[in-house]
A and B are shown apart, each in its own frame.
Chain A
């Protein structure tokens, strides 16, 4: 079966760095997405990785290892507004997105 695993909840301190991990087992692979979702709102796109390595976009970076079925989202210089759920999704061989249950990130002052 297809499966995406990510931690349910994480807590971090304002100004710090946090790494959210995602492991996957899917039928084929056409890329991995990270989305941010604030409570009561729609998910919004953060990053897309299809090749191994690190993609950096401002305070956010995303890493992919296809051989290990593993990705992480790295958030630096955390701000209170980063409190949200972070969704990992893998595009399978049929170009359908398989979603993890999301990681709720709590930022403390």
Chain B
């Protein structure tokens, strides 16, 4: 069965460290997204990609970067982790512009 997986599922790091969260999907979807989810807020878009070598900033992109070297993967990098980036991160993918999103299981990141 096709799926979307994230790793690590839990990560504790220190302020200033670089952190990379992996996202891998086997749906062969062109569109991939990274969201963060915090209490009291809806899912907020960090970065997204519509295909290989395409990346775009979302509403909360500061301090984050992504790269898309193949269809399956969209890793999210925190260049210098800050306590404000403590959150649950969800990767998602969809085929086309209007299809439903399929979410990974989430990565809980704590920055101390």
Contact = CB atoms under 8 A, between A and B. Distances in A.
A68 to B, nearest CB: 21
B76 to A, nearest CB: 16
The prevalent SS among residues of B at the interface is: loop
A102 B42 CA distance: 7
A44 B40 contact: no
B34 interface: no
A42 B43 contact: no
Place the interface of chain B in its size category.
10 to 19
Interface residues of A, number: 22
Contacts of B104: 42
Contacts of B102: 45
B74 to A, nearest CB: 16
A87 B58 CA distance: 19
Interface of B: 40-45, 48, 58, 90, 97-98, 100-106
Interface of A: 4, 30-31, 33, 35, 41-45, 48, 87, 89, 91, 95-102
